[in-house]
A and B are shown apart, each in its own frame.
Chain A
């Protein structure tokens, strides 16, 4: 199975900060990577698929990139509504897998 690791697992930041979350895959997943945001008690929300394609309606402060098997989600200027847990998911090889999540909290 493809393992996804995320770092950090927890991040404390302030409104306006630039935030970067990293997701590393245990093998090549050829850009089959998505990012989701989840708030407490709510279903996950798709932010980005195929590494860097922003979903309709997602603010442009979110962006994604890759370098080999390392993938990055960047929030350019953190807003109050961005405090949540973020998950990456690989969609290349079954079984599909999620990263363990990164919780972004208010500093």
Chain B
């Protein structure tokens, strides 16, 4: 059974840092792209960034709103994907989801974690 479990959310002051983790199980972690998607309270979904699979050297892409502040990385032996968030802003307050991309050219996010809440406030 595919499972994604996020952790690491919490309250942080503006300008601070936080690292979110997503523990993956039930599938071959290195074969799949992984995305982070966030949702501000009462708002829609916003794509944050992507880690491609091992065959693509785990290269990354980011939304303009987080580029230069957020970094996605993987711990392959432990099937973890991280979202390192620096220089946090109030507008980064959201539930953060990790999602697995399916296999194939037109892949979409076929499994999602339950989300972890990040609150940026003084």
Contact = CB atoms under 8 A, between A and B. Distances in A.
A55 B108 CA distance: 10
Interface residues of A, number: 24
Interface in A21-46: 31-32, 34, 36, 38, 43-46
Interface string A68-107: 0000000000000000000101010011111111000000
A46 B63 contact: no
- Give the dominant DSSP class at A's interface: loop
B47 A43 contact: no
Most buried by A among B44, B45, B112: B45
Contacts, number: 61
Contacts of B63: 95
Nearest to B109: A46
B110 A55 contact: yes
Contacts of A55: 110
A13 to B, nearest CB: 20
B108 A49 contact: yes
B109 A34 contact: yes
Nearest to B4: A43
Given A95-B61, A95-B63, A95-B64, A45 B112 contact: yes
Interface of B: 35, 37, 44-47, 50, 61-64, 97, 99, 102, 104, 106-110, 112-115
Interface of A: 1, 31-32, 34, 36, 38, 43-46, 49-50, 55, 87, 89, 91, 94-101
